[in-house]
Structure 1
Amino acid sequence: MQKISMRRLLAGVAVTMLPATAMAADLEVTHWWTSGGEAAAVQELARIFEEQTEHSWVDGAIAGSGSTARPIMVSRIIGGDPMGATQFNHGLQAQELVEAGLMQDLTEVAEANGWRDTINPVSLLDACTFEGRVYCAPLNIHSPQWMWTSLSAFEKAGVEPATTWEELKAAAPALREAGILPLAQGMQGWQTALLLYGMISGIGGADFYNQVFAERDEEALNSDTLKNIFAEYAIARNLASGGNLSDWNMATNRIIEGTAAAQVMGDWAQGEFALAGKTAGTDYGCHIGLGGEPVIATGGDAIYFPVNSDAAVTEAQRALAQVILSEEAQVAFNAAKGSLPVRGDIDLASVNECTQAGLETLKAGNTIPTIDLVMSSDSRGQIEDLTAEFFGSDLSAEDAHARFVQIVQSEM
């Protein structure tokens, strides 16, 4: 683990100090934020934590995706070797740990700092609440319903930059002719599933998405709309063929380089563009959804604090929880990561057009629940396995649709 020593690096800058404790603590924070943009965001949070408290941030980054990191985190907690704080996504990922009494109760911190009055949407706080008590600190809002485009790639191909799925399909022959990959798609299961979720909400719409995942409506599951979406999903497989990509940031880098035209990926991709010095609207385009009404899922990341017998560590945990919801941390972390803040009272007039579009969509109430809130981890895993198999084989759209319906209906 790498200890980030950043306390008071900005001499002379006024900061609001949290109450000093009798004993400072080293607080190990585990997470899977390891891409360039993500690491920059973590450094911002660590800097503010160390500037505003007497405690130290000890970085416990775990390489790989959340599906790799979460089992390691859970194993440590239930095995009696808890970290000081750990990342999970909003939803049900940590509920069993909460039910087992292994997570700190943050209700006093939440009430003292008015979290229910400032967190927007309040459903993010509700996702941290169990039997009326708060057990995590919401950090950001991530929406996966974005299509990112390389403006130089379309210029090289001699076609207008795509802003919708239909426009991307129409431009694909010219892109291929110019040696440009139409769709940069990582082949890990969570990424191929994310594309499917984005197509269901983008092509089908918000109501249809809810009918499929939240209501498990039999008519919607067997509708021509969903069958057509799986046919479009097969087209996506063709557009991505030849990419041979794995990690999501490798796919994003193809957009940054201009060797691929588009990527359907969460707003965390924006952190990679920022790190590469790229400008929204000049170097790359960002489009919520795939052409229908803009809609975003209000999921994201939250920090949980495993129970610890060391009083100094417990105090450091409460201090970090307070820092996470501070205005300074919300602005700095989310600006670096490309996500939206969970506080609804922050002025972000200076952010770029992509973040502004996300904020406007959120303000308009055009939201859907993140998949973590409406599907069990087991079913999500099965969908990820199915979509990864689909992209790695010649499995038909019809067979993939039938298997998808079986997985969703197993939740009923």
Structure 2
Amino acid sequence: MKIRNALVATTALCAASTAYATDLEVTHWWTSGGEAAAVAEFAEAFNATEGNTWVDGAIAGGGGVARGVIVSRILGGDPMHATQLNHGRQAEELVEAGLMLDLTDVATEGGWRDIVHPVSLLDSCTLDGKIYCVPVNIHSWQWIWLSHKAYADAGVPVPANWDEFVASAPALREAGKVPLAMGQQSWQSAGAFGVMNVAIGGLDLWTKVNVDKDAEAAASPEMLKVFKAAADAREFAVGSNVSDWNLATAMVINGEAGGQIMGDWAQGEFAVAEQVAGVDYTCLPGLGVNEIISTAGDAFYFPKQDDPEIEAAQKELAKLLLSKEVQVDFNLKKGSLPVRGDIDLSAANDCMKKGLEILAAGNIMPGGDQVLSPDTSGQIEDLMVEFWNDTSITAEDAQSRYAEIIANAD
């Protein structure tokens, strides 16, 4: 009888545990080695909370592919429970349509406005005074990564700025290296162009074009200098026959390429390859010309669900993503900067420390996702990948088309 009662009690306990277990499907596009290691920190922390399980919904193909899948599912009535997007304007229409969970109560309770730095990251999650996403990192495009091995093989010093990089390209070619590794996806071409815009054209010009939508500035002689630099850069990238960004990063890691213009998420790949900043590779913020950090990055949104238990778990995950320990563990693996200004990152590598110093000095700018609509960003990406891969398109022709896009930007 005692055995029977024990079995009944055990069965009831298991049933109760199952009833209150909450699985959250979380979609994201973090599929490279460094990215997978970073997102595993989120999953591990959530799985350690009572009764919750992170159901990973990684989408291969990069952010452009993933965003299409994510938006399609939400609009199609098959929403995931949480999803990565870039904070800014990408989810604006979904929020306006009432499809995203309001996190204002969680943010108020957690004092997010006091701990998120810069606070503009939280502003990018805010619409009509309500907060709809959790910023989890600061990812800046404003970097070039340089291979010590490639330059040693070529017998020339590692460059300290863009002009030195340009001057080193012939020696790299002579040594059988690709001067500039560049993946073939449109967002990579557009991102690299944006970095050159800030480094060569200056922040004031970038602001006039991207924030003010000034078509005259986009058509100016100063902007033509940026397009001519981009035309040089596409010559440096000839022979970089890869598609994904992390494969281009691998060319730098292996010493097959001199450098790569890529966001600081590239650090995750160097970490997985056990390479050391300052020993195996060099990082130059702002191409060594204008040291500045763009405050773009990743955020998590939570599509609305008609289920109180799911909503409670969503809010629990939202709190967890901004906790001190999770912010440290995730960002050290991701190579990004934390959004909290009150955590210890003494374990950061030299490149990450450079970024933290620039951030602390207030040398920041908004990311493209914060100032341009997805439609405008898509048009620029299409133009840039075409320009990058078709050398018959002159700098002048590309600039003319670009100025037209800016003239009609929203």
How high is the TM-score relative to the length of structure 2? Answer: 0.94
Query: What amino acid does structure 1 have at the position aligned with 2:114?
Result: D
Q: 2:165 aligns with which of 163, 168, 171?
A: 168
Which residue of the other structure, out of 177, 180, 186, is the alignment partner of 1:180? 177
The answer as to whether partners of 1:281 and 1:353 remain within 8 angstroms in 2 is yes
The question of whether the paired residues in 1 share the 8 Å contact of 2:216 and 2:403 is answered with no
1:62-211 → structure 2 map (5 Å cutoff)? 62-211=59-208
Query: What are the Cα deviations for residues 47-73 of structure 1, in whole angstroms up to 9, with x where unaligned?
Result: 111123430000000001111011211
Match in the other structure for 1:370: 367
CA shift digits 1:236-279 (9 cap, x unpaired): 01000111121100000000100101000000000000011110
Q: Which aligned pairs between 1:270-285 and structure 2 lie closer than 5 A?
A: 270-285=267-282
Equivalent residues of 2:34, 2:269 under 8 A apart: yes
The runs of 4+ residues in structure 1 deviating greater than 6 Å are: none
CA distance in 1, matches of 2:49, 2:315: 13
Which 10-residue stretch deviates more, 215-224 or 308-317? Answer: 215-224
Offset at residue 75 of structure 1 (A): 1.5
Partners of 1:101 and 1:379 lie apart in 2 by: 23
Q: CA deviation at 1:21?
A: 12
Aligned residue in 2 for 1:402: 400
Q: Of the candidates 342, 349, 353, which is equivalent to residue 352 of structure 1?
A: 349
What's the secondary structure of 2:288's corresponding residue?
coil
* C-alpha distance in structure 2 between counterparts of 1:138 and 1:110, whole Å: 11
**1:306-354 C-alpha deviation (Å, 9 max, x unpaired):** 1111222111101100000000110011111100000011121221110
Q: Per the alignment, do residues 199 and 53 of structure 1 end up closer, same or farther by CA in structure 2, a change over 3 Å counting? A: farther
1:176-211 Cα shifts (integer Å, max 9, x gaps)? 111111000112110000011000011122222111
Look up the SS of the partner of 1:197 in the other structure.
helix
Alignment gaps of 5+ in structure 2: 1-16
Q: CA deviation at 1:383?
A: 0.8
**Does residue 233 of the first structure (1) align with residue 222 of the second (2)?**
no
Question: In the alignment, residue 350 of structure 2 is paired with which amino acid?
Answer: E
State the match for 2:38 in structure 1: 41
Distance 1:302 1:175 in 2: 39
Secondary structure at the aligned position of 1:290 is classed as: helix
Count of matched residue positions in the alignment of Structure 1 and Structure 2: 393
Question: Which is higher, the Rg of structure 1 or of structure 2?
Answer: 2
Match of 1:244 among 238, 241, 253: 241
Seq. identity, %: 55
Matching of residue 342 in structure 1 with residue 339 in structure 2: yes
Question: TM-score with structure 1 length normalisation?
Answer: 0.93
Conserved? CA contact 2:328–2:344, under 8 Å: no
Tell me if structure 1 keeps the 8 A contact 2:201–2:225. no
Alignment check: 8 A CA contact 1:40 1:336 kept: yes
Is the aligned partner of 1:297 residue 2:294? yes
Instruction: Please identify, of 208-217 and 328-337, the stretch whose mean Cα deviation from structure 2 is larger.
Output: 208-217
The CA distance in 2 between the partners of 1:222 and 1:408, in whole Å, is 10
Task: Let me know the Cα RMSD of the aligned residues.
Answer: 1.4
* Partner-residue secondary structure (3-state), 2:140: coil
Per-residue Cα deviation, 1:286-323 (whole angstroms, up to 9, x for no partner):
11012322011101000000111122211110110000
Match of 1:389 in 2: 386
Q: Which amino acid aligns with 2:394?
A: S
Name structure 1 gaps, 5 residues minimum.
Answer: 1-19
